[in-house]
Amino acid sequence: MGLAVNDAFVVQMVNSRITVMDKSGNTQPGFPKSLQTFFGAGSLVFDPRALYDWANTRWILIAINEDFANSKGFLQLAVSQTSDPRGLYNIYQFQVGPTGQCPDFPTLGQSKAGIIVGFNVFGCSPAGFGGFVNSHVFLISKAQVYAGAATTVWDQFGFNVGGTAFDTLQPANIFDPADRPRAAFVVNSLNINFGGGQCFGGCGGLVVWSISNLFGFQSGGPAPVFAGISLATTFTYFLSFGAHQPGSAFSIDAGDTRISGTVPYKSGSLWASNTTGCIPSCGATNEQSTFIWWQIDPILDDNGGGCTGAFTNLCPKITDARILQQDCYFCGGRGDAGSNYYASFGPDSERDVTVVFNYSDLSVNPGTAFVSRRVTQATNTLHDGGIFLAQQNVFYGQVRWGDYTAAAPDLSGPFGINTGDGGRKVWFSGMFVDGAGNWATQIGANKFVNVSDP
């Protein structure tokens, strides 16, 4: 799902729908509406993501649009013309890959100048998806699409190690105008092609990428400079067999080992998380799943891309990265075979962090929970076992769950940009089971108010 906020509104996108609310939860006139209507697209529009550009006061909304009948797939992009999400949008459609290939699971981030979108690309035909081909990253100029102008997209693909293709590259959301890193960043874990296939036999490590000089090519300058480094990690991660609910073990799809939630960037750090099975050990009775998380500080050189002339020192490359923190949340297992999955992280203006995730166990049906940590808390820890935002004891019989949750930092306030909470609040959303046994979503917000809040 997609979630974004500004000083007055909240935008949520789920498969097939978009809605706009004020911050009191009042749905605005004309919403919700279908993604097909909103984007003016075909009948199969899904996997939405959303961001707010605090520096330029624009909404950035995306989704995938598949045309399997013609073996094609597209990115749908909408950028608002003002800060009001109820108003007009500039709408773009870009084909992803050649005919015979279609995108899936888009990822979304931003830099000061660019919108960055990643995709997993699969073979496709009128029968639907085929096998995984590779991953793509689009670089889209904010200046051009905010003006409603024609734009030339940079399409980078072929991300691999030793010829083995990576999937699910998550661009960082550099959301705070006070942050001005010299490059954009992307993070991926190992997944489809690794560890015996989808990390069934276990995987370790992350890859952190830098992208510099994103749009020099549009003025006759050098191409964007992509560079990546591999990081060793403490914890091995495994494909999840699923999460439990009352009366039905392994009946909730907890996803695979990809980084499913958006990766935020704040004051030099990136936060990323994926889901692992084999908790507390592989083959354990009622084996559980949980999430692993990392706080990463990337390190750039001066001009490793070798750009010259007017582009001198505009092409740094990543040379290393420090993992400041890493933790496997309840890696020793939880009571009643509890599982934590689909985590997303949102830092505030002080780098306190709110984490949204899904939870279920043999006594509790799936719902959305959250946990937080102060920036001054002990390293490699989250504060507690979490608090439910939304949960009902109703059986979920559809297996497929939500693929990803969403967190949206809120910069409004006297220490942010406008008025309100001083950049201390983080909004988040996730799924729970409604009274009819279908998935539904709930939106919440969290902030540290008093010094007595641990």
Task: Name the least confident of 107-121, 208-222, 291-305, 403-417.
Answer: 403-417
> Residue 414 has what pLDDT?
64
Bridge partners, 154 (sequence order): 139
d(CA 354, CA 346): 5
Model confidence over 98-109: pLDDT tens digits? Answer: 999 999 999 999
Q: Is the pLDDT of residue 419 over 50?
A: no
Local confidence band at 452 (pLDDT 50, 70, 90 cut-offs): confident
- Residues, the chain, total? 454
Local confidence band at 453 (pLDDT 50, 70, 90 cut-offs): confident
Give the three-class secondary structure for 337: helix
Torsion, CA 9, CA 440, CA 289, CA 284, rounded to 10:
170
Give the three-class secondary structure for 68: helix
Q: What is the mean pLDDT of residues 174-192?
A: 98
Question: What does pLDDT average to over the chain?
Answer: 96
Q: Is the pLDDT of residue 78 over 70?
A: yes
Nearest to 38 by CA among 13, 21, 5: 13
> Residue 416 has what pLDDT?
46
Model confidence over 319-368: pLDDT tens digits? Answer: 999 999 999 999 999 999 999 999 999 999 999 999 999 999 999 999 99
Neighbours of 392 (CB within 10 A): 15
Q: What single DSSP character describes residue 314?
A: S
Model confidence over 201-235: pLDDT tens digits? Answer: 999 999 999 999 999 999 999 999 999 999 999 99
Q: What is the mean pLDDT of residues 400-413?
A: 93
d(CA 13, CA 89): 15
Q: Is the pLDDT of residue 423 over 90?
A: no
d(CA 276, CA 202): 9
Give the three-class secondary structure for 28: coil
Q: What is the mean pLDDT of residues 29-39?
A: 98
Tokens representing 249?
């073990």
> Residue 152 has what pLDDT?
95
Give the three-class secondary structure for 396: coil
Percent of the chain residues topping a pLDDT of 70: 98
Local confidence band at 422 (pLDDT 50, 70, 90 cut-offs): low
In degrees and rounded to multiples of 5, residue 439 shows phi and psi of -75, 145
pTM of the model: 0.96
Task: Report the largest interatomic distance among the alpha carbons of the chain, rounded to a whole angstrom.
Answer: 67
